[in-house]
Amino acid sequence: MKLIIASNNAGKVREYKQLLAGAGFDEVLSLKEAGLVCDPEETGATFEENAAIKARALHELSGCAALADDSGLMVDALGGEPGVYSARWLGLGDDKAKNTEILRRLDGKTDEERSARFVCAIHFIYADGREVTARGVCEGRIGYEPRGENGFGYDPIFMYGDKSFAEIDGEMKNEVSHRGNALRELEKKLGANGGKP
């Protein structure tokens, strides 16, 4: 079965391809690789709602199995921001600017006051239209400066233990990340629905 991921984010697509390597799909493609453009407006109030909007639009367009996620960073000291607006927070276009603003807002906060989590909701639609949703979380804290070169988005400021998400290797990140946790939850649910895709 062919699966299309509702993303052109190279880092995210790479992680999904690694995570889905043994899941039984014949092909796992990004939107670009599938030759599709699908960019519905994300009007949901939750990660789950936004993931469903994207997956349903892609499934309707392609007729293939579709997977979409919505994920983001929730910082407790910022009232859960950037949350569902993580990709477009404050209208700041680039990752560096968003990371700099979070660090600025947390200036003077202690480790205990820097608690944060990455959240990922995945919405999967079989080719026949059945839908499954899963959620994954990874708890951590915001560091004091960007660190590492491996990640993307908020990874350089998100500390998991004594390393940022941009400092740990891909295999380790897949073991502990919100996306990895959501995908493992999805696999359990797919199994409960009669096996992997």
**Angle (nearest 5°) at CA 82 between 77 and 86:** 150
Active-site residue, selected from the candidate residues 69, 70, 107, 128: 70
* Residue carrying structure tokens 């039984």: 24
DSSP string, 5-49: ES---HHHHHHHHHHTTTS--SEEEETTTTT---------SSHHH
d(CA 18, CA 118): 19
70 given a catalytic annotation: yes
Residue with tokens 């988005």: 153
Q: Give me the active site residues, please.
A: 70
